[in-house]
Chains A and B, each alone.
Chain A
Amino acid sequence: MSDLTIAALDIGSSSTKTVIAEFINDKLKILGTNISQTKGMKHGVIVDISKLVESTSEAIRKASTLTNATVDSVYASITSKDLKIINESFSMPIQSGQVTKSHIKNLINESKKKKASEFKGKHLVHTLANFIVDETIKTENPVGMHGDKISANTYFILSPSSISRNITKSIKMSGYDIQDIFLGPLANAKAVTSYEERDIGIAVIDIGAENSSISVIVENNLVLNKIIPIAGTNIDKDIAKVFGFSVQDSEKIKIKYGYAVTENIGSQKIEGHNINEYDLAEVIEARLEIILYHLKESLKKDSSKKQNPFSVLELISSIVITGGSSQIKDIDLLAEKIFAKKVETRTPAGEDKFFKTISNPKFSTAIGILKMAEENSNVYDEMELNEGIMGKMTKWYKELF
């Protein structure tokens, strides 16, 4: 890909985050960002597509005007509480003694066939796989390696077709080509964690405005993703109800004066408002306790890995919190108490100097989308398995228009 301007679009329930970037020699350079209000969506569900088209086109237009760039194509993310992660293993002998692309193609296709019934009415967002050659060497890309036997451990990430279709439609109707759709939580995780962390196992908690989610990534595969419909807005509403502020003011007060843990918070008055820091922290703490409790509980309910005797929490070494509400002070301490794990809050800039200009955690997913676009994450799809990602998208277009 050469000199192409793209937009990464993270359409959240309350706001649409756009990051405009330019591909120069296969590297991405960020040109600018924009946050604008999302319309027609509630708790991650599209309720009014024409309003969504309106706010989406406005978001892209604002961002491109700001950066003085013409957007060629759009990468978007989807999030769904009805996400399905299917894990399947398949092995085959390597007759030629060397692994080729067609081995990978066959392994993934065979795994897919075994689970064919589960793909009905679903959109395949990602195919993630690990390969093991001769039961000893584990790698993500075994092509060219020598051995007698190869097995694949594949994760298919499926979302309801309607969600992808609606997102595709609204972007298309806004007048832009859609290049690829990535899974929001995966993009988010890519923005705030390192390859090594995702390899040994890490959980990413994303507390946005209306939804909170937890994603567990082990050996670079998304093994679990759970979403609950309580998040930052609920904290704002609690503050508004308890102290009688407007919801907008509550959000500002929360970010400026709020703490997630009451321990060690004194009762000093908050300037300009008739409340003290302790009372504010108490309100925030209680709501966050509910959010984090439910995120932790959702890990227990996972049954995707029947053969694994460990709980998902035992697979991870630490937890990262991101998203708009991660700005609340001491949220990491609260999560540490609840999860009994090392917890860190992170902004998408992370250690990467390249993205240094953006440090607002609201942009985690959009930055992650860019990272995935850059590394061409859908490698297995691109190998023209049954239908490459582009093939898949074109087919939708035909269905839709």
Chain B
Amino acid sequence: MNIENSLLATITANKKYLPKIKIIGLGGAGGNIINKIIAQNLFANDIDIISINTDLQSLENNDAPRKIAIGKNAYYGAGGSAKTGKQAAIESQEAIKDAIKDADLLFIIAGMGGGTGTGASAVIANLAKELNILTISTVTIPFLSEGRSQKAEIGIQSILETSDSVIVIDNEKSVQQNTRNNQRSNSHNLFFEAADNAIIETIKDICSIIYNSEEMNIDFADMKSTIQDSGIGFIGTGKGHGKNPILNAIKEASKSNILQKESLEGANSIILNFSLPEDVLVETINPALEYLNKFTHGAEIKFGLHHTTENFVKVVIIASDFINVKNDQNLDSIERYSEELEAWVPKTISQDTTDIPAIILKKQAIQNAKNTFQKLNK
């Protein structure tokens, strides 16, 4: 499908173009989340939900309306081997292509560290890229105690190469977040629940931007240009009450640390979607945008909004295209400079030192250093 043409068509029809969204749950962890999504009946029927696995038995127990078993010998699963998972996806690529080809936006949900999720997700993301489908991979990385960390890192690296954006949900972090919010939830299952919910929320939030920005529109093209080829992304949501609800919401969203990317700092492009109560003035968004602009050191910001009947402001932030704020060369010169000052600036402030012009103290120190250096070289 040619998106630009369809956008044109929708403009002439003066009606918002709704892109086709598909969600793939990959492997055991992905399949579990798909089951939850279906059980909660979260998404309208026009979003396609697909489960993909190498394990037939597990697929049989899945509630997705569309299921694809991958691999020639699909039956027993990938046995924890990412290589087998990858091979299986390559063998079944025609079936996968067929299932996703009419999508504009594809979510891939997978757990990193096992066989199918780790191995197959990069292959699927690659197929999507070939079909010009915007792809957001939402992956969980396992607990350190599960001992699968290195494999998970490799898995993430390979998806990063192909997926437009990778949203990494760290189980350890979601546990921290979860225990902070609710002291009583200490069972292992609840920990996984937190990570799963984070993925579901993330997808829901992105979909809501596409479906809900009625009054000021973020169109899909905006979203695509922000997310495409952007690497590890940040997504956060926040609710804001009080005197400065918009700002409070943004602050909360920028601190939601369930994702591996901790801060918005250094983001080059940001999409925001506001849900505003009727009594919150649209004008008050401006200072909040300035705040974000300063905080990120000048990100390009696009936003949409709609009104709600709730009594608080909700904001969804998607940020991407991060640059490394502190580059190493810069840091080096800062360190060198501070060592230089350390060498000559008097450590105590006294009449004696303030009476002598600072430049004389500085030059003396430089001269002394030179003398010592010469002595050492003799």
Could you tell me if B349 and A230 are in contact, using CB atoms closer than 8 angstroms?
yes
The answer, among B333, B338, B357, for a CB contact under 8 Å with A287, is: B357
Cα A200 to Cα B250 with chains together (Å): 11
Q: Is the interface of B mostly helix, strand, loop or mixed?
A: helix
List the one stretch of B117-125, B160-168, B211-219, B240-248 in contact with chain A: B240-248
A383 in contact (CB, < 8 A): no
Complex-state Cα separation, A164 to B182, whole angstroms: 46
Contact string against B for A residues 124-148, beta-carbon threshold 8 Å, 1 for contact and 0 otherwise: 0000000000011111111001000
Q: Which chain A residues in 30-72 approach chain B with CB under 8 Å?
A: none
Cα-based distance from A241 to B337 in the complex (angstroms):
27
* Residues of chain A at the chain B interface (Cβ within 8 Å): 135-142, 145, 194-197, 199-200, 228-230, 234, 237-238, 241-242, 282-283, 285-287, 289-290, 293-294, 317-318, 337-338, 340, 342
- The residue that B290 contacts in the complex, of A138, A145, A196, with Cβ under 8 A, is A196
B354 pairs with A230, CB closer than 8 A: yes
Q: Which of B22-30, B60-68, B358-366 contacts A (4 or more CB under 8 A)?
A: B358-366
Complex CA gap A317/B264 in Å reads 12
> Nearest Cβ distance between residue A208 and chain B, in whole angstroms?
15
Is B80 at the interface (CB under 8 A from chain A)? Answer: no
Q: Does B294 touch A at the CB level, under 8 Å?
A: yes
CB nearest to A201 among chain B residues = B295
Q: Which residue of B lies closest to A135 (CB)?
A: B181
Given A194-B287, A230-B354, A242-B357, 13 new contacts (CB under 8 A)? A139-B248, A140-B242, A140-B243, A195-B287, A196-B288, A196-B290, A228-B349, A230-B349, A241-B357, A293-B345, A317-B294, A317-B295, A340-B326
Tell whether A290 pairs with B357 under 8 Å between CB atoms, given A196-B290, A199-B251. Answer: no
Is A287 touching B291 in the complex (CB atoms < 8 A)?
no
Assess whether B79 is interfacial by the CB under 8 Å rule.
no
Instruction: Annotate B314-351 by CB proximity to A: 1 below 8 A, 0 otherwise.
Output: 00000000000010000101100110010001100100
The 11 sampled A-B contact pairs (Cβ below 8 Å) are A195-B287, A196-B294, A199-B247, A229-B354, A238-B359, A241-B357, A282-B359, A283-B358, A289-B358, A294-B345, A337-B334
Least CB distance, B208 to chain A, in whole angstroms: 21
Task: State whether B359 touches A200 (Cβ < 8 A).
Answer: no
- Asked if B337 contacts A286 (CB within 8 A), the reply is no
| Interchain CA distance A234-B295 in the complex, whole Å | 35
Q: Cβ of B243: which chain A residues have Cβ within 8 Å of it? A: 139-141
Chain B residues contacting A340 (CB-CB under 8 Å) are 326, 331, 334
Docked complex Cα distance between A314 and B214 (Å): 39
CB pair B362–A318 under 8 Å, yes or no, is no
Nearest chain B CB to A331 CB, angstrom units = 15
Most-contacted residue by chain A among B291, B357, B358, B360 (CB, 10 A): B358
A139, A197, A241: the one contacting B294 at CB < 8 Å is: A197
Contact B341 A293 (CB under 8 A): yes
Q: B204: CB under 8 A from chain A?
A: no
* B297 close to A (CB within 8 Å): yes
User: Is A287's CB under 8 angstroms from B359's CB?
Assistant: yes
Q: Given A145, A200, A286, which contacts B295 in the complex, CB threshold below 8 Å?
A: A200
Closest to B290 in A: A196
Query: Nearest chain-B residue to A194 (Cβ)?
Result: B287
User: B241 touching A145 by the CB < 8 A rule?
Assistant: yes
Q: Of A137, A194, A286, A342, which contacts B358 at CB under 8 A?
A: A286
CA gap between A230 and B362 in the complex, in Å? 16
Which of the residues A135, A142, A289 comes within 8 Å of B362, measured between beta carbons? A289
Evaluate contact between A338 and B358: CB separation under 8 angstroms.
no
CB of A199, distance to nearest CB on chain B (Å): 7
Q: Would B341 and A318 count as touching, CB distance under 8 A?
A: no
Complex contact B345–A289 (CB within 8 A): yes
Binding site for A on B (CB under 8 A): 181, 241-244, 247-248, 251, 287-288, 290-291, 294-295, 297, 326, 331, 333-334, 337-338, 341, 345-346, 349, 354, 357-362
The chain B residue with its CB closest to the CB of A317 is B295
Known: A290-B345, A293-B341, A340-B334. A138 touches B357 (CB 8 A): no
Docked complex Cα distance between A137 and B249 (Å) = 10
B291 touches A196 (CB 8 A): yes
Complex contacts, A285 vs chain B, CB 8 Å:
359
With A200-B295, A337-B334, A338-B341 as known contacts, state yes or no: A290 contacts B358, CB within 8 Å.
yes
Chain A nearest CB: distance from B210 CB in Å? Answer: 28
**Contact status of A294 and B337, CB under 8 A, knowing A137-B242, A138-B248, A283-B359:** no
Partner of A338, one of B241, B248, B337: B337
Contact A342:B359 (CB < 8 A) given known A139-B243, A196-B290, A290-B345: no
Give the complex CA separation of A234 and B357 in angstroms.
Answer: 8
CB distance from A44 to the nearest CB of B (A): 14
- Chain A residue at minimal CB-CB distance from B288: A196
- Identify which of A194, A230, A283, A337 contacts B337 (C-beta below 8 A): A337
Q: Closest residue to A287 on the B side, CB-wise?
A: B358
Q: In the complex, A131 Cα to B221 Cα: how many Å?
A: 41
Q: Which residues of A contact B358 (CB under 8 A)?
A: 234, 238, 283, 286-287, 289-290
CA–CA, A228 and B347, complex, Å: 12
Residue of A nearest to B338 (CB): A338
Cα-based distance from A283 to B360 in the complex (angstroms): 9
Q: What's the minimum C-beta distance from A299 to chain B, rounded to whole angstroms?
A: 13
| Shortest Cβ distance from residue A291 to the other chain B in the assembled complex, whole angstroms | 9
Task: Tell me the bound Cα distance from A140 to B295 in angstroms.
Answer: 21
A289-B361 Cα distance, complex, nearest whole Å: 12
- A260 CB to nearest B CB, Å: 12
Assess whether B242 is in contact with A141, with CB atoms less than 8 Å apart: yes
Closest to A133 in B: B241
B359 nearest in chain A by CB position: A286
Q: Are B349 and A342 in touch, CB under 8 angstroms? A: no
Once the chains are docked, how many angstroms separate the CA of A230 from the CA of B334?
Answer: 23
In the bound complex, CA of A166 to CA of B19 (Å): 71
Residues in B with CB closer than 8 Å to A196 are 247, 287-288, 290-291, 294
Q: How far is the CB of B350 from chain A (nearest CB, A)?
A: 10
Residues of A within 8 A of B181 (CB): 135-136
B349 touches A142 (CB 8 A): no
Among A230, A237, A293, max chain B CB count under 10 A is at A293
